[in-house]
Amino acid sequence: MPFQDDFYKSAFSVDNVIFGFDGNNLKVLLIKRKHDPFAGYWALPGDIVQPDQDLDEGALQVLEKLTGIKDVYLEQVHTFGKVNRHPRGRVITIAYYSLIKIGEEDIRPSSFADKVEWKEIRAIESLAFDHLDIVNTCLSRLRRNVKYRPIGFELLPKKFTLTELQNLYESILEKELDKRNFRKKILSMNVLKTHNELQKGVAHRPAKLYSFDAYKYEAAKESGFVFEL
In this structure, are 69 and 36 located in the same domain? yes
120 within a domain of the structure (yes/no): yes
Number of CB atoms found within 10 A of residue 216's CB: 15
- Report, as ranges of residue numbers, the positions in the chain whose pLDDT lies below 70: 1-5
The CATH number assigned to the domain holding 160 equals 1.10.10.10
In this structure, are 154 and 132 located in the same domain? no
Angstrom distance (rounded) from CA 103 to CA 69: 12
Domain boundary among 97, 126, 148: 148
- Number of separate domains in the chain: 2
Please tell me the predicted confidence (pLDDT) of residue 9.
Answer: 79
128 within a domain of the structure (yes/no): yes
In this structure, are 85 and 137 located in the same domain? yes
Do 66 and 113 meet the contact criterion of CB atoms below 8 Å apart? yes
229 within a domain of the structure (yes/no): no
* Dihedral (CA of 15, 17, 225, 177) sign: negative
Q: Residue 22: which of 93, 114, 122 has the closest Cα?
A: 122
75 within a domain of the structure (yes/no): yes
Domain boundary among 148, 174, 201: 148
In this structure, are 217 and 179 located in the same domain? yes
53 within a domain of the structure (yes/no): yes
In this structure, are 214 and 192 located in the same domain? yes
Q: Which residues of 75-91 are buried (b: 16+ CB within 10 A; e: fewer)?
A: eebbebeeeebbeeeeb
Q: In the chain, where do the E strands start and end? A: 11-21, 26-33, 42-43, 46-48, 75-80, 91-99, 113-120, 192-198, 208-212
Please tell me the predicted confidence (pLDDT) of residue 3.
Answer: 56
Please tell me the predicted confidence (pLDDT) of residue 144.
Answer: 94
In this structure, are 141 and 37 located in the same domain? yes
Domain that holds residue 45: 4-148
Number of CB atoms found within 10 A of residue 95's CB: 26
Record the pTM. Answer: 0.92
In this structure, are 109 and 129 located in the same domain? yes
228 within a domain of the structure (yes/no): no
- How far out from the chain centre does Cα 79 lie? 17
Please tell me the predicted confidence (pLDDT) of residue 225.
Answer: 78
172 within a domain of the structure (yes/no): yes
Domain boundary among 148, 180, 199: 148
Please tell me the predicted confidence (pLDDT) of residue 137.
Answer: 98
Q: Residue 145: which of 29, 49, 59, 228 has the closest Cα?
A: 228
227 within a domain of the structure (yes/no): no
In this structure, are 91 and 201 located in the same domain? no
In this structure, are 156 and 168 located in the same domain? yes
> pLDDT per residue over 123-136, tens digit each?
999 999 999 999 99
